[in-house]
Amino acid sequence: MATQFDNLQIADKTEEQAFSARELSVLIDIATVVSAASSIGAVYSSLAALVADLIEWDAIIVTTPEDDGRTFTVSLREGEDVPGRAIGTKIDADGTLHGEATKRRETLYFTADDGLTAELALRFPGLRHSLLAGFRSFLASPLFSQGEVVGVICVQSFEPHAFGNHDRMLFERIAVFVGPAVGRIDAYRALRREDLRNKSLLKIGRLLLGAHDIGDVFEQFVEELRTVVEVDRIVIAVAQPDGAALIDRYRHGISVPNWDENIVIPMDALEPNGVDVTSHGYILPHDVMRDIDPATSPGLYANYQAGLRTVMFAGLRSEGRLVGTVNVKSVNEDAYGAADLEYFEQVADHIAASIERTLTHESEIEMNRGQEDRIRFQQEERRAVDVIRAKQRLLASASEELRTPLSGIMGFVDLLARNRHRNLDEKQVRYLSIIRRSAEELSGKVDSLIDHAEINESQLQISLESFEMATMLREAVTDAVPKLTEQGQSAHVESDEGIEIIGDRRQLITAIEHLIDCASRHAPPDTTIRVLGQRVGSRVELSVICHGPGDPDEFVPEAIDLLDGEDKVDNVGRTGPDPDFTYVRAVAVAHGGDTTYDSTPDGGATFTIRIPARADFPAGL
């Protein structure tokens, strides 16, 4: 609110005042000097000297209003300096003769008696610097150009009551000549600002156009932006692919606690104070920022708490769709005007195009990376196939090489075991029986090796037939008895009778034998291994149960491998899974089932193969 000055006098325009011939001559010289100059700044010293021929002054100052209409800038100055009032200084219009003269559009005179200086300095903050510097008389006149106030010219004197009515009339006539010249300053400055903005837009456009990613030139972009508008903090947010939210991606400047990470902002939170940022740019002035509700606009509230006072926002649109937003903030309360917003919206157009290129570039990189991954996967897949084929050839060759001598061994053992000539004693016949059993076990290991190779290639073949569950389990136990006897162990079948299974009888017997063999290796002597078969709902469960305590440090990791099927290395360097367990799991999966492992309270374990019963067996097998 403007201050009402005491002792303020207005020039009496009704009074006829005659100027002397000398005064008229000086006035003509003043008019000639200022009208002939392209810039009043170039002739201001000459103007000040001519004014001194008419009016004694100790300082002469010209101020021009800013776009906001609330502040003045000290543009020209001659004479005694005043601390805090150098050229370029911004002056609040309230409490100053400049503001009063502009508002009243009249020439004003003010004098300060010595006894009131301190009081006046407090009452009139705009005059405080001059009063403290010793000035006591002030004469101010508005400057007009094409009917608009373009500035104020003021003379100051250290003497009280230094200016009379005649001085005021002379000064008003001087202002008539100076006004148009100052108007040219304002026009020049406007043209200069426009030229600066145009050059800045051109530089920013070139900078962003040459970058695949705006992040590569972000710092340079900010520096160029600062040549035109104040930037104490800038944030560019990019729309997420689903269009439901923005994410703060690029930022620079003053830190705002809890808002310096990649903050996700829902689209429905982009209308603070009812303004839609997606349709046009706008400015949030200091008084709006000051009253921000932290509950509805926590981001703006946090920025205000960090010392930022004014904000400019603009949406980033590309081909009619929102690709992001940009905002700049300043610590000054009146940092941005209409011209700044117009420039900023043009900058936003460049940013939007750059964001679109950035997103396209990132998409291309991701596509190329995906293509590279696919090519690498195909190459690795081909190498794996080559390895598998080489292994197949090796296993086929090894199996033939092993089976031929084994067949010979078992054939000759059978001939000797007949003992036709009765030349072998009972002990020798028993040895032949052991050799025969060992050869059969080795033959089984060869078959298991081939089966294991088929499992690794996901080619385990099963032949379907119908058989009775309990009979199949007893056959598996019978095959395992010789080895169990050597370990001082036994096996016992507990099974429901009459349950029919459709599956691969040989593969299931071999799988049960593997589990019995595992249980035998890890169970103590003089124990009985239970082989349990039962119907549970639509499935059958084939379980091998051993009792401890055996060797859990080795036993348990193998059992876990049976469950998850992943290769592991335990704390003693054992790699897994165990081939027997792998085979058991593969047989169960080939039959449409699975395997489980459970420990028993006494330290033993239960291994279970669960497969569908006859009615539920997968179609097509």
Q: What is the pLDDT of residues 99-132, one digit of tens each?
A: 888 888 888 888 887 666 666 767 777 778 888 8
What pLDDT is recorded for position 452? Answer: 59
Quote the CA–CA distance of 63 and 152 in Å, as a whole number.
5
Examine residue 198 and state whether it is found in any structural domain, yes or no: no
What pLDDT is recorded for position 457? Answer: 47
What pLDDT is recorded for position 14? Answer: 44
**DSSP class of residue 524?**
P
For 150, other C-beta atoms within 10 Å of its C-beta total 23
User: Is 574 a residue whose pLDDT tops 50?
Assistant: no
Residue 559 backbone zone (phi > 0: left; psi -120 to 50: alpha; other: beta): alpha
Q: Are residues 267 and 303 in the same domain?
A: yes
Residue ending a domain, choose from 361, 383, 404: 361
The total domain count for the chain is 3
Q: Are residues 138 and 46 in the same domain?
A: yes
Rounded to an integer, the average pLDDT of 235-258 is 84
Torsion of CA 235, 236, 239, 245, to 10 degrees: 10
Examine residue 556 and state whether it is found in any structural domain, yes or no: yes
Residue ending a domain, choose from 308, 338, 361: 361
Examine residue 457 and state whether it is found in any structural domain, yes or no: no
Quote the CA–CA distance of 378 and 274 in Å, as a whole number.
55
Quote the CA–CA distance of 564 and 614 in Å, as a whole number.
26
Looking at mean pLDDT, say which of 150-154, 256-260, 388-392 comes out highest.
150-154
Q: Strand 594-599's sheet: what is its strand order?
A: 490-495, 528-536, 539-546, 605-612, 594-599
Q: Name which of 320-334, 385-399, 430-444, 499-513 the model is least confident about.
A: 385-399
Quote the CA–CA distance of 334 and 287 in Å, as a whole number.
10
Examine residue 369 and state whether it is found in any structural domain, yes or no: no
What percentage of the chain carries pLDDT values higher than 70?
A: 76
Residue ending a domain, choose from 164, 193, 222: 193
Q: Are residues 229 and 149 in the same domain?
A: no
Q: What are phi and psi of 179, to 5 degrees?
A: -50, -55
pLDDT in tens, 481-493: 878 887 888 899 9
Q: Are residues 299 and 357 in the same domain?
A: yes
User: Is 188 a residue whose pLDDT tops 70?
Assistant: no
Q: Are residues 76 and 183 in the same domain?
A: yes
Domain enclosing residue 156, as ranges = 9-193
Listed residue (567, 483, 499, 557) closest to 533, CA to CA = 499
What pLDDT is recorded for position 184? Answer: 75
Examine residue 530 and state whether it is found in any structural domain, yes or no: yes
- Look over the chain and give the mean of its residue pLDDT values, rounded to a whole number: 79
Q: Are residues 328 and 182 in the same domain?
A: no
Q: Name which of 40-44, 432-436, 449-453, 525-529 the model is least confident about.
A: 449-453
**DSSP class of residue 537?**
T
Residue 313 makes CB contacts below 8 A (sequence gap 6+) with 275, 277, 281, 282, 283, 284, 325, 326, 327
Rounded to an integer, the average pLDDT of 429-451 is 73
User: Is 420 a residue whose pLDDT tops 90?
Assistant: no
Q: Are residues 249 and 173 in the same domain?
A: no
User: Is 577 a residue whose pLDDT tops 50?
Assistant: no
pLDDT in tens, 56-99: 999 999 998 887 777 888 989 999 988 888 888 888 877 777 88
Quote the CA–CA distance of 210 and 216 in Å, as a whole number.
10
Q: Are residues 55 and 187 in the same domain?
A: yes
Q: Tokens 């009243």 — which residue?
A: 104
Quote the CA–CA distance of 303 and 422 in Å, as a whole number.
108
Examine residue 328 and state whether it is found in any structural domain, yes or no: yes
Q: Are residues 240 and 147 in the same domain?
A: no
Domain of residue 143, CATH code: 3.30.450.40
Examine residue 231 and state whether it is found in any structural domain, yes or no: yes
Q: Are residues 153 and 244 in the same domain?
A: no
Q: Name which of 101-105, 186-190, 449-453, 575-579 the model is least confident about.
A: 575-579
What pLDDT is recorded for position 174? Answer: 93
Q: 16: pLDDT confidence band, cut at 50, 70 and 90?
A: very low
Q: Are residues 275 and 349 in the same domain?
A: yes
Higher pLDDT, 439 or 140: 140
Examine residue 367 and state whether it is found in any structural domain, yes or no: no
Residue 44 makes CB contacts below 8 A (sequence gap 6+) with 62, 76, 78
Rounded to an integer, the average pLDDT of 417-426 is 78
Q: Are residues 564 and 472 in the same domain?
A: yes
User: Is 594 a residue whose pLDDT tops 70?
Assistant: yes
Domain of residue 481, CATH code: 3.30.565.10
User: Is 330 a residue whose pLDDT tops 90?
Assistant: yes
Q: Which runs of consecutive H residues, i.e. helices, occur in 496-613?
A: 505-522, 552-564, 579-590
Higher pLDDT, 6 or 343: 343
Rounded to an integer, the average pLDDT of 323-333 is 89
User: Is 179 a residue whose pLDDT tops 80?
Assistant: yes
